[in-house]
Amino acid sequence: MTLEQILERLSVPAPSGVADGVALGTGLSDGFGVFESPLGSVVVAFNPLGVSAVDLFTKGFEERFAERFRRPLLEARPPRDWEDLIIRALAEGTPGALPVDFRSVTSFQRLVLEQTAGIPRGETRSYGWLAGRTGRPGAARAVGQTMARNPVPLVIPCHRVVLSDGRIGHYGLGGAERKRRLLRVEGAIC
C-alpha cells in the first residue's frame, strides 16, 4: 500500500466551521462549477486528481454528491487550463486531455469506462461489445451496472452504449429520453 493510499484512508470530513477552500485539494472536498452541455446546465466536480463527477444542475446536486462520494462540494473555479478542457469534453463527449478522478470506481469499472471513452461521437456500441473489450465477454450486465454508476457522464459517453438489439436502454443522467436526445444530436440515431 502506498503512502497516498494510507493517507487517503485517514481522511475524514472537515470539521464544521472550517473556512471554504481550506479543505479543497486535500481530498476532503471537491470544487464544482456549472457548465453548459448538450443537456443544458450541468455541475462538474473536480479535485487535484481530475474531474470527479458530472450531474444535472438541479436542486439537491450537492447532497447527491456528498451522499455518493462521502465528501462535500465547494463552489470554486477549476484550474485555468482545465476550463477549456471541461467545455470541450462536454461538447465532444470524450475526456480527451481532461484528467478524470477514478477513485470512486473499481478497477474493472475503470477499464470499462476507459473503453467507453474511446467510442467515437456519432457511433454506438453494445454492452456485450464493451464486455468483450475488457476481456470478460460474459460481463455485459456488469458493464451495464458500470454505465449506471458512471461518475462523469457526458465526459465519458455512456450514452453511446446501447442494448445488443439496438434499443436505447437506460440512462442515469435523466432517463432514456435524454439519452435518445444526445444520440440524435450526435447523429447516431434518427
Choosing from 44, 143, 158, 161, which is the catalytic residue?
158
Alpha carbon distance 4, 138 (integer Å) = 34
β pairing state of 161-162 and 125-126:
parallel
Query: H or E segment at 85?
Result: helix 80-92
Task: State how beta strands 50-56 and 40-47 pair.
Answer: antiparallel
DSSP state of 15: P
Helix (H, G, I), strand (E, B) or coil at 166: coil
- 103: buried, middle or exposed (CB in 10 Å: 19+, 13-18, 0-12)? middle
**Which of 91, 99, 136, 131 minimizes the C-alpha distance to 115?**
131
190 is catalytic: no
User: How far from chain centre, in Å, is Cα 92?
Assistant: 14
SS3 41: strand
Active site residues per annotation: 158
